[in-house]
Structure 1
């Protein structure tokens, strides 16, 4: 070996020689954020885990693979999950009924971009089996509204009244709950009286969750508590995308959950 070749070989075999630089890993890291700012995660996987853990809920086959229905054994609480839908459109509909064949009492919807911690909190509350029903025709009074939003008030979320709208907004202004007092006077059970949102502002939300007049206050209180104290994870690249997106407010008209399905179509 020539002197040059020998020096080159020694340099390659010398201990402590820095290894080749690894690709930048920063994009793979995640950050802990409030639940309302977390990533949506895999909604289908969340639903599958829910079914695995709660045998009193059953998955029903539909004519299309685009939609899944999950029904409680009482037949009075039903979930509709629409797959492969744009992030700002309704992907979840929860509806409660007085009896298996009656009109529904209340309905709740959530868009496809709803963060995983928020969705999991909703499903956990449904699985507890408490607070599903409500008194039909009962007025939406101050006591009910206060109970539903108490966690927000205790956490110091900003409270404002603008005509028919009552709002509670996070200190950072990036999330909130809006109550529409006008809809409580309307006979329809399907109007969006409550709107939970997060994002740049209420007119350009990253995601929304809506609930009709008689949605139980314990359920709404659990969601409020989760907004205030819940946490989740978000990847930096997701945060960057969300800042560039402009989502439209979803229609307050909830999708209809099938009232009954024949036993022959169950899994």
Structure 2
């Protein structure tokens, strides 16, 4: 940039760094990329705010070349410009980005938790089971279903699984805290349309609950809920029938309709106000376990047009399925150590491992 002043160079570099950080931390999801001469271009959307962007350049020269109101507009414009060279998913790391990732890893302080002594596992309701290994669940799902493709983000913090139809997508954030969103499932009417429905699950969601969700996605039954389908009493009743049949307590508290387990340690909550809102991705259903919906051990949320068949499958799992939970018999001990060797940095997109 020989024609730029020092302050202009700093401004361009700062903007490029912000874009890189947004991608690395999962705030900016890259839908597709292409080679444009001697540089790279890409199109993506911010997960909060709804803005979509067209990116041009690499490293310290990456910049936002255009903005769009929706992913659909952005994808259509990008395809017109780069249709022949267009590739799905994020671009591979540049040499500079790889070097930066290795430097961060080699200097990072890692927290190591000693596992407590454990007794034999006990059988508990599915909603009270251990979270297990979420990454292993996703890997097994992808290995068993070849109609899904796996993509990794540049920093290796997030995995995206995309169905071959491009209308159903899973986002898995690997190091998400127990009470924060670790899974996002989103359905689209077409590969370039806005979301029809979205479902999220926190990092402590029990393995049997997640397994049931993945089994439903593998079946492909009920994805195509029309974007304008009404959420009426019949739909609500169909989604919660397994809970009613199992004797879960049904209560109404203003805008909230709840079904609570006999032990009062789990439940399903329906927000009647959110169901009438025009925002199709607003959380309307909340599945939870723990003291109460406001202080859950784990939670799963779903938007108004989430298929009733999917919700009914999850309700059936909550009401009748079981899982295992380890009894902790010793307190956790924590220590820190300095990592001296860099972690392996995978290529992007990553090929499926076997």
Residue 94 of structure 2 is aligned to residue 36 of structure 1: no
Structure 2 matches for 1:126-165, cutoff 5 A? 126-165=217-256
Aligned partner (choices 263, 288, 292) of residue 197 of structure 1? 288
Q: Deviations over 1:10-53 (max 9, x none)?
A: xxxxxxxxxxxxxxxx8231000000000000000110100111
For 1:246, the equivalent position in structure 2 comes to none
CA gap 1:238/1:104 in 2 versus in 1, 3 angstroms: farther
CA contact (8 A) 1:70 1:80 kept: yes
Structure 2 matches for 1:49-198, cutoff 5 A? 49-198=140-289
Counterpart Cα distance in 2 of 1:200 and 1:53: 36
Residue 239 (structure 1) shift: 11
List, as ranges, runs of 4+ consecutive aligned residues in structure 1 with deviation greater than 2 Å: 238-241, 264-267
Unaligned runs of 5+ in 1: 1-25, 242-263
CA contact (8 A) 1:193 1:211 kept: yes
CA contact (8 A) 1:91 1:110 kept: yes
CA contact (8 A) 1:81 1:91 kept: yes
CA gap 1:190/1:126 in 2 versus in 1, 3 angstroms: same
CA RMSD of aligned residues (A): 1.9
Q: Deviations over 1:156-198 (max 9, x none)?
A: 1000001110000000000000000101111111111000000
CA gap 1:220/1:32 in 2 versus in 1, 3 angstroms: same
CA gap 1:107/1:238 in 2 versus in 1, 3 angstroms: farther
Residue 112 (structure 1) shift: 0.1
Q: Which has the larger radius of gyration?
A: 1
Q: Deviations over 1:82-128 (max 9, x none)?
A: 01111000000000000000001000000000000000000000000
Counterpart Cα distance in 1 of 2:303 and 2:224: 13
For 2:56, the equivalent position in structure 1 comes to none
CA gap 1:39/1:216 in 2 versus in 1, 3 angstroms: same
Counterpart Cα distance in 1 of 2:349 and 2:135: 20
Unaligned runs of 5+ in 2: 1-116, 333-347
CA contact (8 A) 2:129 2:324 kept: yes
- Aligned residue-pair number: 221
Counterpart Cα distance in 2 of 1:200 and 1:266: 40
Aligned partner (choices 277, 298, 302) of residue 211 of structure 1? 302
CA gap 1:132/1:152 in 2 versus in 1, 3 angstroms: same
TM-score, normalization by structure 1: 0.80
CA gap 1:28/1:156 in 2 versus in 1, 3 angstroms: same
Counterpart Cα distance in 1 of 2:284 and 2:125: 24
Larger RCO, structures 1/2 (Cα 8 Å, 6+ apart): 1
CA gap 1:118/1:200 in 2 versus in 1, 3 angstroms: same
CA contact (8 A) 1:139 1:184 kept: no
